[in-house]
A and B are shown apart, each in its own frame.
Chain A
Amino acid sequence: MTKASPLRWVGIGVLALALAVVLALVPFVGGSYYAHIGILVFLNITLVLGYRLLCVAGLYSFCQITFFGIGAYTSALLSTRLGWPVWLCFVAAGIVAALFSMGLILPAARVRGVYFFLVTFGFLEVMNAVFLHWSSLTGGDAGVLVSAPLIGTGTQTQDYFVILAFVVITVFVMWRIERSRFGRELAPIGNAEGLAAVSGINVLQNRVLAFAIGAAVAGFAGSLFAHDAAYISANDFSMWDTIYILVWLVVGGPRKMWGPIVGAVAMTLIAEFLRMSGIMQALFYAGVLLVVVMAMPQGIVGFVDMIRIRFGRRTPPAAELQTVSEPPRAESLVEGSQ
């Protein structure tokens, strides 16, 4: 913005460059294990960013992971059964997920709050039953083996960069949405639906759009997941996975866009690095969640913001958020807590 000093932009540029270098080096320095963790973090970021869009509009759904699953199955089946090229499967995955979401939201937008939550929970369970029991289509218990690699020969490093590109695009699109009229209208809808409507905001249209965009992002991510993992089954899209998305959102704080990014990065890394410690993983994970929910009801990012406001520093207006420079902070945050 005009008021931001050039120095600030230089700082952001340097941070972004440093982040880019670090992210580019991960698979080469860390090997395929770290590439794998990177992929996990990236996919989780896109899932939670898509989910945030609907939550901002007041649509606390419980089926974000289902759209991820629909995308994954769409892509896997089109690739294995019909032999479609992977890029086309990817495009179809997002579109199919968005179509499913429209079919759900058009009737479901009539209900609010906990009822909406339950309707979407029902959708999650129904789709899970489809994934699990419609064996002739989905392979049932056995799942689907996806032989087509995402790109090239399908090494972890190649997948890493494809999915990195996807997350960068997703973050960029979400950032632009945030600054667009559509994006600005979502929060008033979530905050005070009646007031939003009499102020000239089309509540239903915006909600449907937010829900469909969120589902499309999850669908695209699901396609990438299917071709990267090379095997999918109903277990990958269970109730627990949708709870994790909610956890990332709550831990990071939903109000600003980089909140859920921080949440997804922090919680995914915590879970991953404590994997070996067995019960400690669950305890620590739950501990972090409890501390955040009780001490920082607005999430980590909301907490940081609150401190900035309380101590007199003017908050940057929503339009000036520096999404690009945030992920490194999340990492240093996790290191600090280890």
Chain B
Amino acid sequence: MPILEVSQLGKRFGGLDALSDVDFSVEPGEIIGVIGPNGAGKSTFFNVLSGVMKPSTGKVVFDGRDVTGKKPHRIAQRGLVRTFQGTVLFSDLPVFDNVLVACHIPAHENMVADMLGLPSVRAREAAMRERTEEIIELAGLSAVRDKLAHDLPHGHQRALGVALALATGPKLLCLDEPVTGMNADEIEAMIAFIARIRERGITILLVEHSMKVVMSICERIMVLNFGCKIAEGTPDEVQNDPAVIEAYLGRPDEDVA
């Protein structure tokens, strides 16, 4: 059974179809890329999936449940978590505290027991700290765990953003252009981080501009253009698809004219 199934998904802004009739599904454990030229509807697709925007048409089924038009925090609690391009929760707190806070989000606890600091709560607190350390290590941020988030170089900040999403315990992690603006070393580190996340069995949906990254890590790719799905397949298939080539490079006869 697919972990995410999207059918006939559409989003209309006034007279503009930012997204129309997209059918798409993701199997558990997959790593899938969504690409397309600027304005193709990639961000809208992410916004509709995560509940930031309500779709105009269609249905989003996540983990066997219809989450169409649900509030973002509900969708996130179900396990569909997305990152934003370059926002961290507390820019003036250390890396460790940032991740610790995110670790607390999935814990469902009794507020009264929580406030009284009962032994069970203390035990969980210790477990949270352990988990925080683990995630920081996974993100390759151990060396900077005590630095303030806003003092980190760009690559580390982005890694922290992904670590925060990871800390909330997602089943499907949606990464919004995780390597934008990174240098070659940072891109390599991020790719390795994404690979480590995958090894833990988390399904990944990746929106990315950099074709190189998408081609090198994704098993399957969906291509959007003007809000419509124009192709879907393995990196090789997509690369050789005439519709995709046209979307990115233009029609051959346009060049001639």
Contact = CB atoms under 8 A, between A and B. Distances in A.
Given A198-B50, A309-B94, A184 B148 contact: no
A318 B97 contact: yes
Interface in A273-327: 298, 309, 314-315, 317-319
Interface stretch (B59-67, B74-82, B218-226, B230-238): B74-82
Interface stretch (B10-18, B34-42, B102-110, B133-141): B102-110
Interface residues of A, number: 32
A200 interface: yes
Contacts of A185: 101, 104-105
Nearest to B164: A199
B90 A188 contact: yes
Contacts of B196: none
Contacts, number: 101
Contacts of A315: 94, 97, 146
A332 interface: no
Nearest to B88: A192
A299 to B, nearest CB: 12
B45 interface: no
Interface string B85-124: 0011111101011001110111101010011110000000
B73 A200 contact: yes
Contacts of B146: 309, 314-315
Sort chain B's interface into a size bin: 35 or more
Interface string B42-67: 00000000111000000000000000
Interface in A207-255: 255
Interface of A: 2, 173, 176-177, 179-182, 184-185, 187-188, 191-192, 194-203, 255, 298, 309, 314-315, 317-319
Interface of B: 50-52, 71-73, 75-77, 81-82, 84, 87-92, 94, 96-97, 100-102, 104-107, 109, 111, 114-117, 125-126, 146, 148, 164-165, 168
